[in-house]
Amino acid sequence: MSEVNEASGAKADEPAGGSARRAPTVADFTTGAEARWCPGCGDHAILSTMRGLLPALGVAPENTVVVSGIGCSSRLPYYLDTYGIHSIHGRAPSFATGISINRPDLSVWVVTGDGDALSIGGNHLIHALRRNVNLKILLFNNHIYGLTKGQHSPTSKVGTVSPSSPHGSLDNPFNPIALALGAGATFVARTLDSDRRHLTATLTAAAAHQGAALVEIRQGCPTFTPIPRQPRGSAAPAPETDNPAAPEQGPIRLSPGLPIVFGTNEQWGVIRDPSTGELAIGHGGDSRVVVHDPGIQNSTYAYALARLAETSLAEPPIGVYRSVTQPSFDQLFQERLATARPGGRGELRSLLTGVDSWEVAAS
Amino acid sequence: MSTEQLSARPDGVRRLENVVIRFAGDSGDGMQLTGDRFGAQAAAIGNDVATLPNYPAEIRAPAGTVAGVSSYQLHIADHDITTPGDQPDVLVAMNPAALRANVTELRPGGVIITDTDAFTALGLEKAGYESDPLTDGSLDAYQLHAINLTGFAAAAVADHNLKRKDAARTKNMFALGLVSWMFSQPIEDTAAYLRKRFAAKPDVQAANISALRAGWIYGETTEAFASVYEVKPAPLPAGTYRHMKGNKGIAYGLVAAAHQAAMPLFLGAYPITPASEVLHELSALASFDVRSFQAEDEIAAIGAAIGASFAGMLGVTVTSGPGMALKAEALGLAVIMELPLVVVNVQRGGPSTGLPTKTEQSDLLQALYGRHGEAPLPVIAVRSPADGFAAAVEAARIALTYRTPVILLSDSYIANGSEPWRVPELDELPSLGIDLATEPNGVDAEGNPIFLPYARDPKTLARPLAIPGTPGLTHRIGGLEKADGTGAVSYDPDNHDLMIRTRQAKIDGIDVPPLEVDDPDGPPGSGADVLVVGWGSTWGPIGEACRMVRAQGLKVAQAHLTHIAPLPANVASVLSEYHTVLVPEMNLGQLAGHLRRETLIDTVGYNVTRGMPFRSSELASVITRVIAGIADEDGTGTVDGRALGDVAARLAAKTDAGANKRDATLEAGR
Ligand code: SF4
pLDDT tens digits, B275-300:
999 999 999 999 999 999 999 999 99
- Angstrom CA distances, A288 to A291, A316, B265, stand at 9, 20, 56
Q: Where are the domains of chain A?
A: 21-228+325-355, 243-319
Q: Is B474 on the interface with A (CB under 8 A)?
A: yes
Nearest to B79 by CA among B184, B185, B243, B235: B235
CA distance B80 to B322: 35
Residue in A85, A340, A341 nearest the CB of B310: A85
Q: Which domain holds residue B261?
A: 242-428
Instruction: Please give, rounded to a whole number of angstroms, the shortest distance from the CA of A216 to a CA of chain B.
Output: 22
A123 chain-B contacts, CB cut-off 8 A:
296-297, 300
Q: Is B40 on the interface with A (CB under 8 A)?
A: yes
- What is the per-residue pLDDT for B224? 64
A334 chain-B contacts, CB cut-off 8 A:
none
- Regarding whether B121 and B53 lie in a shared domain, the answer is yes
CA distance B407 to B546: 29
Cβ separation A352–B469 shorter than 8 A: no
CB B589, CB B635: distance < 8 Å:
yes
Look at residue A234 and tell me whether its pLDDT is greater than 60.
no
State the fold for domain A21-228+325-355: Rossmann fold (3.40.50)
- Regarding whether B169 and B137 lie in a shared domain, the answer is yes
pLDDT tens, residue by residue, A155-169: 999 999 999 999 999
Look at residue A236 and tell me whether its pLDDT is greater than 80.
no
- Regarding whether B601 and B500 lie in a shared domain, the answer is no
In a domain, B237, yes or no: no
End residue of a domain, out of B511, B542, B575 = B511
End residue of a domain, out of B377, B397, B428 = B428
Radius of gyration (C-alpha) of chain A in whole angstroms: 23
- Which domain CATH number covers B554? 3.40.50.920
- Regarding whether B553 and B490 lie in a shared domain, the answer is no
- CB distance A224 to ligand 1 below 6 Å: yes
- Angstrom CA distances, B132 to B101, B367, B457, stand at 15, 49, 73
- Tally Cβ neighbours within 10 Å of residue B643: 15
pTM of the model: 0.89
Phi, psi (rounded to 5 degrees) for B71? -140, 165
Instruction: Please give, rounded to a whole number of angstroms, the shortest distance from the CA of A351 to a CA of chain B.
Output: 8
In a domain, B236, yes or no: no
The sheet carrying B265-269 orders its strands as B290-294, B265-269, B314-319, B341-347, B405-411, B379-381, B563-565
- Angstrom CA distances, B623 to A133, A193, B520, B587, stand at 57, 72, 16, 18
In a domain, B545, yes or no: yes
Nearest to B598 by CA among B577, B569, B578: B569
Residue in B266, B286, B297 nearest the CB of A341: B286
- Residue with CA closest to ligand 1 atom 5: A37
Look at residue A9 and tell me whether its pLDDT is greater than 70.
no
Nearest to B127 by CA among B67, B69, B66: B66
Model confidence band, residue A22 (pLDDT cutoffs 50, 70, 90): confident
CB A187, CB A322: distance < 8 Å:
yes
- Regarding whether B549 and B616 lie in a shared domain, the answer is yes
Look at residue A122 and tell me whether its pLDDT is greater than 70.
yes
Give the helix/strand (H/E) hosting B571: helix B571-575
- Regarding whether B366 and B265 lie in a shared domain, the answer is yes
CA A213 to chain centre: 5
- Regarding whether B208 and B86 lie in a shared domain, the answer is yes
Buried b (16+ CB within 10 A) or exposed e, A166-194: eeebeeebbbbbbbbbebbbbbbbbbbbb
Q: Is B476 on the interface with A (CB under 8 A)?
A: yes
- Regarding whether B499 and B536 lie in a shared domain, the answer is no
- Regarding whether B422 and B329 lie in a shared domain, the answer is yes
End residue of a domain, out of B428, B456, B490 = B428
Cis-peptide into B351, omega within 30 deg: yes
CA distance A343 to B289: 11
- Which domain CATH number covers B388? 3.40.50.970
Burial class of residue B122 (count of CB atoms within 10 Å of its CB; 0-12, 13-18, 19+): exposed
Instruction: Please give, rounded to a whole number of angstroms, the shortest distance from the CA of A77 to a CA of chain B.
Output: 7
Nearest to B407 by CA among B472, B335, B512: B335
Ligand 1 atom nearest to A73, measured from its CA: 3
- What is the per-residue pLDDT for B657? 63
CA B82 to chain centre: 12
**Number of domains chain B is built from:** 4
Ligand 1 atom nearest to A37, measured from its CA: 5
CA distance A101 to B195: 38
- Regarding whether B582 and B444 lie in a shared domain, the answer is no
- Residue with CA closest to ligand 1 atom 6: A38
| Length reported for chain B | 670
CA distance B475 to B486: 9
A337 chain-B contacts, CB cut-off 8 A:
286, 289, 291
- Residue with CA closest to ligand 1 atom 1: A146
Give the helix/strand (H/E) hosting B241: strand B239-245
Question: Is residue B82 classed as helix, strand or coil in its secondary structure?
Answer: coil
Question: Which residues, at least 6 apart from B656, have a Cβ–Cβ distance to it below 8 Å?
Answer: none
In a domain, B622, yes or no: yes
- CB distance A29 to ligand 1 below 6 Å: no
Q: Is B468 on the interface with A (CB under 8 A)?
A: yes
Q: Which residues of chain B have pLDDT under 50?
A: 1-11, 659-670
- Regarding whether B313 and B361 lie in a shared domain, the answer is yes
* Euclidean distance between the first and the last CA atom of chain A, given in angstroms as a whole number: 49
Phi, psi (rounded to 5 degrees) for B316? -140, 145
- What is the per-residue pLDDT for B654? 81
- What is the per-residue pLDDT for A241? 62
Proportion of chain B in helix, strand, coil states, percent, rounded to 5: 40, 20, 40
Phi, psi (rounded to 5 degrees) for B226? -65, -25
- CB distance A223 to ligand 1 below 6 Å: yes
Q: Which long-range contacts (CB under 8 A, 24 or more apart) does A337-342 make?
A: A337/B286, A337/B289, A337/B291, A340/B286, A340/B287, A341/B286, A341/B287, A341/B288, A341/B289
